Amino acid sequence: MTANGMDSLREELVLGMGNPLLDIIAFGDQQFLDKYGMKPNDAILAEDKHLPMYDEMIKKFKVEYVAGGACQNTLRLAQWILGKPRVCVFMGCIGKDSFGSILEQKANESGVITRYMYHDIQPTGTCAVVVTDHNRSLCANLAAANCFKIAHIKKEENWSFVKNASYYYLTSFFLTVSPDSMLEVARHACAFDKTVFLNLSAPFLVQFFKEPMMQVLPYVDILFGNEHEAETFSKEHCFGTNDLREVALKIAALEKVNKNRNRMVVITQGPDNVIVAIDGKITEYEVPVLQSNRIVDTNGAGDAFTGGFMAMFIQKKSIDVCVKCGIYEIGRAHV
């Protein structure tokens, strides 16, 4: 490894697994949100009443298509920072339809290698991203993304990507779909002393998918979360504190299978300091103030941070550089 780490920035270095969604992004209005019972700066799962909105967005607004879903977003952003294609590999399930073709095209254009499982019946998952003022409202229809099976990663042509990777990025959203796949990959990583990243992703996952999350957590080397997810974690595990520094230290100290390195916990707090817990110590990083009139929308701030952090980490940069790159990417993504 050279000082900048680029000599080891090889293809298929990072593997991510998650829910692939085609983000359909449009600048909308309050009337459109009201029609579908949506709120500014909210994220919901689609019900039957929401299903017509995707086609209506395409007909009514000028839309942008992005290869989305939290995991795929993070890999795409990391790939952009790295400036070298095919470093990141993504696995998830999509449908055999036009949205699936667009999703695959957009992901591949970003430099990400896709190893999708294709579902014969379910349509490709979509996420409506309606931007109003500086807010964004998300409505996700998981559809085929819900259908991923562990058999897909066990196929020889796909398991070769698992074996070849040195870093693994998992989101807790995938706990609702295929926790057994997450465990399979995490155990492999641990057996070969590789690095596992996990994102807490959302408070409801910490609360309602606690059991599978705690099965995966012992294999996790670096955990990401925001203040709401960390507070929920503390409550669910009876930590008896809302001090995020203490929460980060307590999560870092939980059982870990790979004893070769301690767990790192990284907690973001919007405009407040980023908290990093490692080796029983806390370091805080200031987030520069971003003027509200420069913010386009708040979509994907967490994905931007983790993408920036991970892009530096896999190049063996210091934690200071990793965090600062993540913070920079949040600002860059929203102005």
**Residues belonging to the active site:** 303
DSSP per position, 153-202 = HHSHHHHHHHHH-SEEEEEGGGGGT-HHHHHHHHHHHHHTT-EEEEE---
Nearest of 331, 248, 299 to residue 137 by alpha carbon: 299
DSSP secondary structure of 276-300: EEETTEEEEEPPPP--GGG----TT
CA angle 141, 147, 152 (to 5 degrees): 140
Q: Is 1 helix (H, G, I), strand (E, B) or coil?
A: coil
**If residue 76 lies in a helix (H) or strand (E), which one and from where to where?**
helix 70-82
How far, in Å, CA of 328 to CA of 335, rounded? 11
CB distance 31 to 136 below 8 Å: no
Distance CA 73, CA 140 (A): 14
